[in-house]
Chain A
């Protein structure tokens, strides 16, 4: 009988092993999920960075070019219209033919295919615009842009299957080879400044991110300036002042539901209300900001209310106890203590707004915008829209630009988050 009787501690020990196993398994699930997440992240980032950084660089061919006033057709260096209308293409073409020693029609055609004639022309134009009188008639060195297909090919030299060779014929490939073998004055790869300083363009070598970047910046500015104060005022009123009745319940339910409405609906609303009814200018960050404000408000309100609720009641009591009025309690104590939480909600909302494209499509922010917007009422596009448009473009140079634009978008986002973290730590240091 005695050996059949199992003591409690033995039973516990027996079960203990099982418990430990379960514990280990439980932990393993967590670690596995984290590993999976990290793997995805690493994969995503290596892919984006490896492809995206290519878009930041471009191949140039430094050429010496004589700025012949006769070919350009400029008679008066003070006349800006003459400088704008001058025939730069002919000038560049002539010089390119000389460099490649192209005399026959076919040779000329091959040579033209290697250099971005128009884009190089713009560069010379830009130089002349600043100082025509001094430069005209002199010989200058210009970094001529290679054609976007050449750039594509050069960036992938040595890769499996020689991507890009299909764009060229034998003679052209030979010319590229010659360029590469040159000791001096050959093709160089350097940072593509145009990408950061210009707007969209039909030519991929001329296309830049700045107009979309500024568009996104203005859009976020409008969104922040509207949604932050409105969201916080709403949250404070609902939490601190509003009586608890059916109406406030209804408002609360509606706010929570709004947070789950598909964003394109907000775009439709913007189209119907802001554009059709109020007649605000189409494609502008102002209207985009209005629409995204509607979209981010629920996020900000919900998180701000949670932050206000989390303020310990003892602090309120303390303030009331020495005779602070309701407004003083709210402004001196509740809002400062809830501010980090409110900021977190705002940043989440703004990050969402930054990546949003569907509602902006509805109000015409998907337009082709070569000019850099200088105010919130200038037509503009935004980074996600720009990326989408570039990816859609069949031209080889554009998909690379799109990858680079994604990197810009991510950097933008990281910077925004860093700003929020900094602001939070500042506020928390003040207790």
Chain B
């Protein structure tokens, strides 16, 4: 059943064109990242419509919504990964601690060192486990000596909960690990450069439930030190790991609220329709 049918069948659901303002609490005090009036275009087609959202310090914010709602696109704006897509154009103010991310003079290299990313499919480099983790610190020049690098690699792998499993085979290819291990390796690689924010684009969609549970546990632990924005298709996952949940619908941010509230008593009828499985 597509969205339109759902809307027709349930008169209670608001028409998507009627979504003017985001309901709930999109803005917070002491925001780590704040986005205002964000529009994203792919060529002629507009993918994101006037999104306002804050991400608090050491907060885990989940972004949910049906396929094609723009949640991944929005996430990829936060560290300018969309720059690699030529036809993609971003308007609006996106700030990381008061600094404009889309300032033309801003260098994306330090930005991406501060805002790291974990992708949908585990994508370790075809290098050894050690080199995978050491790659980021190496290109940013974070370790002066070999011993420093060893330490960074070990702490990153420990934080990612992978150290015990791989400590004896650090110099074997990272691609030889299992899917879940590979994803944790990718997380270790991301945290090795000590970012402030970690963006996760459906990090568990290619993993089995056990590996997923491990990653979720990890997200919980990481939230002590990092600010995390996670896009997920699994509402259970959003409910388990996040503090706040943002619901996107056809490029618009419909509702942002405390996770518990979103899944028990959402403010918006579209959110309710989605979480109760009436579409999506």
The chain A residues found within 8 Å of chain B, CB to CB, are 244, 312, 314-325, 328, 332-333, 337, 431
What chain B residues lie within 8 Å of A324 (beta carbons)?
A: 109, 135, 139
Distance of A322 Cα from B109 Cα, bound (Å): 8
Q: Is the CB of A321 within 8 A of B81?
A: yes
Distance of A337 Cα from B175 Cα, bound (Å): 14
Which segment of B60-68, B112-120, B209-217, B246-254 sits at the interface? Answer: B112-120
What chain A residues lie within 8 Å of B136 (beta carbons)?
A: 322-323
Q: Is the CB of A322 within 8 A of B112?
A: yes
Q: Is the CB of A244 within 8 A of B119?
A: no
Q: List 6 A-B contacts (CB under 8 A).
A: A314-B123, A322-B192, A323-B109, A323-B111, A325-B139, A333-B125
Distance of A328 Cα from B141 Cα, bound (Å): 13
Distance of A203 Cα from B113 Cα, bound (Å): 73
Question: Which residue of chain A lies nearest to B126 when distances are taken between CB atoms in the complex?
Answer: A431
Distance of A314 Cα from B189 Cα, bound (Å): 14
> With an 8 A cutoff between CB atoms, is B79 at the interface?
yes
> With an 8 A cutoff between CB atoms, is B96 at the interface?
no
> With an 8 A cutoff between CB atoms, is B127 at the interface?
yes
| Least distance between B230 CB and chain A CB atoms (Å) | 15
- With A244-B86, A314-B119, A328-B139 as known contacts, state yes or no: A320 contacts B112, CB within 8 Å: yes
What chain A residues lie within 8 Å of B110 (beta carbons)?
A: 323
B 156-184 binary contact with A (CB < 8 Å = 1; else 0): 00000000000000000101000000000
Sample of 19 further A-B pairs with CB below 8 A, known A316-B84, A321-B118, A323-B116 = A317-B117, A317-B119, A318-B124, A318-B125, A318-B186, A318-B189, A319-B135, A320-B84, A320-B112, A322-B192, A323-B109, A323-B110, A323-B112, A323-B113, A323-B139, A332-B135, A332-B139, A431-B127, A431-B175
B 234-275 binary contact with A (CB < 8 Å = 1; else 0): 000000000000000000000000000000000000000000
Distance of A244 Cα from B139 Cα, bound (Å): 29
The chain B residues found within 8 Å of chain A, CB to CB, are 79, 81, 84, 86, 108-113, 116-119, 121, 123-127, 135-136, 139-140, 173, 175, 186, 189-190, 192-193
Question: Which residue of chain A lies nearest to B127 when distances are taken between CB atoms in the complex?
Answer: A431
What chain B residues lie within 8 Å of A332 (beta carbons)?
A: 135, 139
Which of these, A312, A314, A321, A337, contacts B79 with CB under 8 Å? A321
What chain B residues lie within 8 Å of A333 (beta carbons)?
A: 125
Distance of A129 Cα from B173 Cα, bound (Å): 61
Provide the main secondary structure of the chain A interface: helix
Question: Which residue of chain B lies nearest to A317 when distances are taken between CB atoms in the complex?
Answer: B119
Q: A-B pairs with the 8 shortest C-beta distances?
A: A431-B126, A323-B112, A314-B123, A321-B117, A322-B136, A323-B113, A318-B123, A323-B109
Q: Is the CB of A322 within 8 A of B86?
A: no
What chain A residues lie within 8 Å of B127 (beta carbons)?
A: 431
What chain B residues lie within 8 Å of A315 (beta carbons)?
A: 123, 125-126
Question: Which residue of chain A lies nearest to B121 when distances are taken between CB atoms in the complex?
Answer: A314
What chain A residues lie within 8 Å of B119 (beta carbons)?
A: 314, 317-318, 321
Question: Which residue of chain B lies nearest to A431 when distances are taken between CB atoms in the complex?
Answer: B126
What chain B residues lie within 8 Å of A322 (beta carbons)?
A: 112-113, 116-117, 135-136, 139, 189-190, 192-193
What chain A residues lie within 8 Å of B135 (beta carbons)?
A: 319, 322, 324, 332
- With A316-B84, A322-B189, A323-B193 as known contacts, state yes or no: A431 contacts B123, CB within 8 Å: no
